[in-house]
Amino acid sequence: MNRRYRKTIIAGNWKMNKTPTEAKALIEEMKPALSRCKWCEMVLCVPFTDIQNAVKAARGSKIAIGAQNMHFEKSGAFTGEVSADMLKEMGVKFVIIGHSERRQYFGETDISCNKKVKVALAAGLRPILCCGETLEEREQDVTMEVVRKQIKIALRDVAAEDIKKVVIAYEPIWAIGTGKTATAEQAGEVCSAIRDCLRELYGARAARAITVQYGGSMNAKNAAELLAQPDVDGGLIGGASLKAADFAAIVDAANQ
């Protein structure tokens, strides 16, 4: 982490877990422990059906609520989708874009991510843009090429004045939900390469101000080591964000 130049952000991705009632209960359980947070922003990206309850439960706390997906059109015949304006009006502050599960199961592409990033920014939402390689791509030693391609396409035509609002989440696909975690050195190396790519696109001053998270089985035990890397500015947390004590421990590690 480098707090001199950028914010540390710990974001939970609840995926398809928790009913609205369960969401309210979990946030209420989290709030006392998270109230002592001083140095980082905390975000919970919840299922769409939970957003209303989550926003109400988080009111008055330091927790921001995020969404897990959105469509790039403002409205229209897109059954089952939600727009950026709908999320904004509900009190959402962040939105995950391009998670590997969206890419794998629902056909998300770098091009659709680009459309969503621009629409999210226009609506006043902060995109959490995901990138990452498969195990096969890592074994073929093309991790950096894959990640750079994802970043460059997804950020095409994003204005320099908007780029600081974007959060990048490096999530090696082989480490998501598998219990495997990139070593701190591996995570730091790729996050540093992401910042190099951002520097090429937007210049050094902008690049050093952008939060780059690590996702992929970050948990209470390994968070401190991962966050000690200078270019790892937080985490996008899966399973550990569904347990109040574990999520609080990660936030505590970010506050050291």
Give the domain ranges of the chain: 8-254
> What local confidence, expressed as pLDDT, does residue 1 receive?
81
Model pTM above 0.75: yes
Q: Which residues of the chain have pLDDT under 50?
A: none
SS (H, E, C) the chain: CCCCCCCEEEEEECCCCCCHHHHHHHHHHHHHHHCCCCCEEEEEECCHHHHHHHHHHHCCCCEEEEECCCCCCCCCCCCCCCCHHHHHHHCCCEEEECCHHHHHHHCCCHHHHHHHHHHHHHCCCEEEEEECCCHHHHHCCCHHHHHHHHHHHHCCCCCCCCHHHCEEEECCHHHCCCCCCCCHHHHHHHHHHHHHHHHHHHCHHHHCCCCEEEECCCCCCCHHHHHCCCCCCEEEECHHHHCHHHHHHHHHHHCC
Residue reference for tokens 């959060």: 167
Question: 231 with 210: CB under 8 angstroms?
Answer: no
Burial of 159 (0-12, 13-18, 19+ CB in 10 A): exposed
End-to-end alpha carbon distance in the chain: 10
> What local confidence, expressed as pLDDT, does residue 216 receive?
83
> What local confidence, expressed as pLDDT, does residue 72 receive?
98
> What local confidence, expressed as pLDDT, does residue 231 receive?
96
Q: What is the pLDDT of residues 109-151, one digit of tens each?
A: 999 999 999 999 999 999 999 999 999 999 999 999 999 999 9
> What local confidence, expressed as pLDDT, does residue 141 receive?
95
Q: What are the residue numbers of the active site?
A: 99, 171
Q: 8-254 maps to which CATH number?
A: 3.20.20.70
